[in-house]
Structure 1
Amino acid sequence: MLISTKGRYSLRVMVDLAEHQTDGFIPLKVIAERQEISEKYLESIIKLLVKAGLLTGLRGKGGGYKLTKSPDQYAVGSILRLTEETLAPVSCLESGAASCARMASCRTLPLWKGLDKVISDYLDHFTVADLMQHEEEGNDYVI
């Protein structure tokens, strides 16, 4: 599993909008500048997030985008499932995959199913609100 640029950028956009949710609607240009993402590429990501109901948009003067819910109501896993073709570790576990002829006797299938569950559980454990935290991991060691 490799998270695409679209997936990574979608999380950055969601965190950016969450951090600035008191500012009302944020113009696409402002988000693009803050996140150093091309406006054209960001527009395709925003459209996907709006279509899924994660964001709402307002056209015209004073328009832009904002979250439809509070940051703690957006699971990272659901955002990545929206933007990524798949989060499955192997093709036979992808949604809509053709049944493998070896599935019934596959010795490794339980391993892949377990990994798939770990990935989903891990990504669903985090929310956009969690990503807003500025904790610096690894700086709590004692010598």
Structure 2
Amino acid sequence: MKISTKGRYGLTIMMELAANYGEGPTSLKSIAEKHQLSEHYLEQLIAPLRNSGMVKSIRGAYGGYILSKLPDEITAGDIIRVLEGPISPVDFTEEDDPAKRDLWIRIRDSIAQVLDSTTLAHLIQYQDNGENSDYMFYI
């Protein structure tokens, strides 16, 4: 499974909102400028995140977006599924060779386990520490 810019930039948005959790709304413009991304593209990505209930929008001159849940209640898997769809390395059917089907299922389940056990709180803690030894992904 290849994660597209939708998933990667969506994680970026959500990590910024998690890093600013409790400090008021964060504008997409500030996220776009900080990460040198297209604000217009981020606007397209925030809609499904808002529709899923993970993000709330705040209107007004000092408006923007906030997480609707705590950073440790939102996983990378939640975000990726909203923006990318189901997690699966390949499309397979019941007619496929059982050995290959088992391999694809194990790969899918391993990826899902890593994504579902990684919260926004983990990601921003890892980002803040700036150390590679604090968090290791095994697939």
TM-score band w.r.t. shorter chain: 0.7 to 0.9
Listed as ranges, the gaps of 5+ residues in structure 1 are 93-98
Q: What is aligned with 2:114?
A: 122
Q: What is aligned with 1:136?
A: 131
Instruction: Indicate the RMSD between aligned Cα atoms, in angstroms.
Output: 1.7
The whole-number CA distance in structure 2 between the counterparts of 1:108 and 1:28 is 43
Q: What is aligned with 1:66?
A: 66
What is the SS of the residue equivalent to 1:91?
coil
Give the letter aligned to residue 49 of structure 2. Answer: L
Q: What is aligned with 2:53?
A: 53
1:109 aligns with 2:101: yes
The whole-number CA distance in structure 1 between the counterparts of 2:49 and 2:2 is 20
1:48-100 Cα shifts (integer Å, max 9, x gaps): 111111110012222110000110000111110111134201112xxxxxx45
Q: What is aligned with 2:137?
A: none
* Larger radius of gyration between Structure 1 and Structure 2: 1
Instruction: Using the TM superposition, give the Cα deviation of residue 22 of structure 1 relative to its aligned residue in structure 2, in angstroms.
Output: 2.9
TM-score (norm 2): 0.86
The whole-number CA distance in structure 2 between the counterparts of 1:72 and 1:109 is 33
1:105-139 Cα shifts (integer Å, max 9, x gaps): 53311111111111111111100000012241159
The whole-number CA distance in structure 1 between the counterparts of 2:124 and 2:5 is 19
Give the letter aligned to residue 64 of structure 1. Answer: G
Q: What is aligned with 1:85?
A: 85
TM-score (norm 1): 0.84
The whole-number CA distance in structure 2 between the counterparts of 1:38 and 1:16 is 15
Report the identity percentage.
39
The whole-number CA distance in structure 2 between the counterparts of 1:25 and 1:108 is 47
The whole-number CA distance in structure 2 between the counterparts of 1:26 and 1:113 is 38
The whole-number CA distance in structure 2 between the counterparts of 1:84 and 1:35 is 21
The whole-number CA distance in structure 2 between the counterparts of 1:42 and 1:138 is 31
1:22-61 Cα shifts (integer Å, max 9, x gaps): 3201122112112221110000011111111111001222
The whole-number CA distance in structure 2 between the counterparts of 1:29 and 1:9 is 14
